[in-house]
Amino acid sequence: MENGAACQELLARLAARKAVIGIVGMGYVGQPLALRFSQVGFTVLGFDIDCQKVSELNGGRSSIQHVDDTEVAAAIESGMSVTDDFSRIGEVDAVILCVPTPLNKYREPDLSFVINTCDAIAPYLRRGQVVSLESTTYPGTTDEEVVPRITAGGLVVGETIFAVYSPEREDPGNEKFTTSSIPKVVGGHTPACLEAGVALYSPAIDHVVPVSSTKAAEMTKLLENIHRAVNIGLVNEMKIVADKMGVDIFEVIDAAATKPFGFTAYYPGPGLGGHCIPIDPFYLTWKAREYGVNTRFIELAGEINRAMPRFVFDKLVSALNDQGKALKGSKILILGIAYKKNVDDMRESPSVELMEVVRDGGGIVSYSDPHVPKFPKMREHTFDLSSVDLTPETLRGYDAVVLTTDHTKFDYAMIHQNARLIVDSRGAFRDFYPAVVRA
């Protein structure tokens, strides 16, 4: 009787919007989600280990470019607060985990952030809470890693505490879709857990999509991103073939996209970036080995995509050679180092890998990115650089510029008019061919 009461009490608090929502990890995923819950009337308590970020958010300042300070300030005014004190987990009714799930140096899943966070919150969990993992991971993570940790103190999942998996779906820089308008997949460890998960997200998300289990929800997220990774791998391989044949791959894609059925346009680039698409496929390939399955198709696409920065580098070296210059000692300007256009997100950016290859090859590398004024601290990459202002004078001072991220703010006509050599990996200078090297 008491077990059923825990679920009903939680559902009632969520329905009345009297529940306190805890968001662990106030980054690119957690911050917009926290703001959305605040906007629909919930009290929100954010958690983050970064003291500077905690201070900024409590002061009404956003730490993410595409989240406006006014939104954060409005949420703080409405009662949202952020802390680095995990003992306050007991104050919330819902615990939503939005922490990183990178790969280690062997390209295997690194669940240390998930595991360490679960261990940090476990002593403070109480009866009647719902714990939702949003981090992208392999099927089985919620059941195998999260549930044992949140029940270690005696709570019973599905009875006195509720575990769900609901993968984050964010597309930074895409104004067509917001946190509220992107459908939310939710899977529960038990039917009662699923009911709690649906009740948690329904007030804040326009359309909640329940699935039969946490594994199904985890697999859904992987399929979404593997679909993109494989198709981008295909079009990147097509780009290499088209380049050898002297065919403009962007013209081919645009022509193919006129077919009103059976074709979706994907565009090539210098490689994959972001926190999902370059990483998520390898979570599945790693887990699939446990079942004796080799995911050859997925791994092949990964090999192609990982090779693209080197392809762009080779085009740069060849273009310099055609002008009688060696890479060593040449001044190279990388245009755009965020992983996609019009955002400041640097995670897994192929531009950074290209910068390292150029530097290791003896080139003097600089960058210009209107969204990244100073090269940030990164776990695996180190550059003491700031963004170069693009002017006719500065452009003429470089032996080559390489477009890797096609931000809207770039003045492409001015760049084309003043750069000595342009290597274009995004097709942004198509109208200026043949004076541009395609990569």
Residues assigned a catalytic role: 276
Do 238 and 304 meet the contact criterion of CB atoms below 8 Å apart?
A: no
**CA pair distance 308, 311, nearest whole angstrom:** 5
Q: Both ends of the chain: CA-CA distance in Å?
A: 66
Q: Residues 6 or more apart from 55 whose CB is under 8 A from it?
A: none
Our CA dihedral for 313, 318, 324, 329, rounded to 10 degrees, sits at 10
Structure tokens at 184: 């939310």
How crowded is residue 83: how many other Cβ atoms within 10 Å of its Cβ?
Answer: 16
**CA pair distance 406, 427, nearest whole angstrom:** 9
**CA pair distance 436, 439, nearest whole angstrom:** 9
With CA atoms as reference, report the closest residue to 356 among 382, 322, 330.
382
User: Position of tokens 């452009």?
Assistant: 395
In angstroms, what CA-CA distances link 263 with 195, 258, 427, 433?
37, 9, 20, 27
